[in-house]
Structure 1
Amino acid sequence: MLLDWMKSHPTLADDPVSGFDPDAVTVSETVEIAAPASVVWAVLTDMPRYNEWNPFCVRASSTLEMGAAVDMTLMNYAVPGTLVPNCEYICAFEPERMISWEMIHSDFWPYPARRDQVIEPTGEASCRYFSTDAFLGANGIHVFRFAGPWVKRAFDDSARALKDRAEMLYAQEQKA
């Protein structure tokens, strides 16, 4: 999944616009979740409910089709108390395993990036989750140096909140 993408993506030397630099990647903490991958997937793809659990992405909408926009409202960890609109595009979708979206390079926004959210089943009723953000192209390392620390904090907060939400929903499901 993620490793396959990194291996197949052009390196920065090959493509200064959207090439991959392994030094420009933010990785969240990995959380162990006491719920099946299917429950975690259901939480991640129920975008209208992000505001109920996600401290970083407080609004999201998308059809989740390949190439579809993911319109988001993000908490601005660089300027606390403010919100930032963000639009990226679905670029990978493997049910119960990975969902990815990317910001594509443009003249208006020369800062391409790709976010992968990865679910790894560890048992019938357990899995682990982590996310990455690869800042791409020649500007990627500069964006990483500026935004990497607060993006990591945001992704760590989201991973812990996802764990809490999935475990709560799974516990409710088991009681029903």
Structure 2
Amino acid sequence: MLDWMKNAPKLNDDPVSGFDPDAVTVGDTVEIDAPARIVWDILTDLSRYAEWNPFCVRAVSTLEMSAAVEMTLVNYAAPGSLVPNCEYICAFEPERLLSWEMIHSDAWPYPARRDQIIEATGDNTCRYHSTDAFLGNNGIHVYRFAGPWVKRAFDDSARALKARAEAMFTALEEA
């Protein structure tokens, strides 16, 4: 469990944005035969997402704290379609954590937070996974509806990230 999850207001204390541990999608953990710095470089090179990411085919941001991340996502709930999405950077720890969140609003009362976690396991290896916490009173309903396809999207992205990182690292070692 991430530190923010441990310290977040609970659902009973904050029905708008409180954390419910039962409303979290956890993607598969992938072991990557490449250093954490390469995985980090791929995750933060938003302009190249379309080259490797099967879920997020466009992302634009300065990656500064609170900056918008404007994305175009493949709609796993309606195959063949794309959906625009805008979230905001809420955590940025180089080579370790990249997070963005959807903030609650009257127009969209479905706050959420996505965390992408990299853990170095050696000089040239790491592991990666991501989570999506659906927050507030609506979170459990969003989780029940969207959780399965969000997990599939995260798992597809994790496998694609692994393949890209390993190919880049192999190319660097051969150069």
TM-score range, shorter chain: over 0.9
3-state SS of the aligned residue for 1:90? strand
- Identify the residue that residue 108 of structure 1 maps to in structure 2: 107
Q: Partners of 2:174 and 2:60 in 1: how far apart?
A: 30
- Identify the residue that residue 87 of structure 2 maps to in structure 1: 88
* Number of residue-to-residue matches in the alignment: 175
Identity, in percent, stands at 77
Q: Which amino acid aligns with 1:101?
A: W
- Identify the residue that residue 44 of structure 1 maps to in structure 2: 43
Q: Which amino acid aligns with 1:13?
A: N
After superposition, the C-alpha distances for 1:43-90 in whole angstroms (9 at most, x for unaligned) are 000000000000000000100000000000000000000000000000
Q: How far is 1:21 from its partner? A: 0.2
- Identify the residue that residue 169 of structure 1 maps to in structure 2: 168
Q: How far is 1:3 from its partner? A: 1.8
- Identify the residue that residue 71 of structure 2 maps to in structure 1: 72
After superposition, the C-alpha distances for 1:92-149 in whole angstroms (9 at most, x for unaligned) are 0000000000000000000000000000000000000000000000000000000000
Listed as ranges, the matches of 1:91-170 within 5 Å are 91-170=90-169
Give TM-score scaled by structure 2 length: 0.99
3-state SS of the aligned residue for 1:152? helix
Q: Partners of 1:137 and 1:107 in 2: how far apart?
A: 13
Q: Partners of 1:59 and 1:79 in 2: how far apart?
A: 18
Q: Partners of 1:17 and 1:166 in 2: how far apart?
A: 38
Q: Partners of 1:62 and 1:167 in 2: how far apart?
A: 25
Q: Which amino acid aligns with 1:39?
A: I
Q: Which amino acid aligns with 1:140?
A: G
Unpaired stretches in structure 2, ≥5 consecutive residues: none
Q: Partners of 2:16 and 2:165 in 1: how far apart?
A: 37
4+ residue stretches of structure 1 with deviation over 2 A?
none
Unpaired stretches in structure 1, ≥5 consecutive residues: none
Q: Which amino acid aligns with 1:38?
A: R
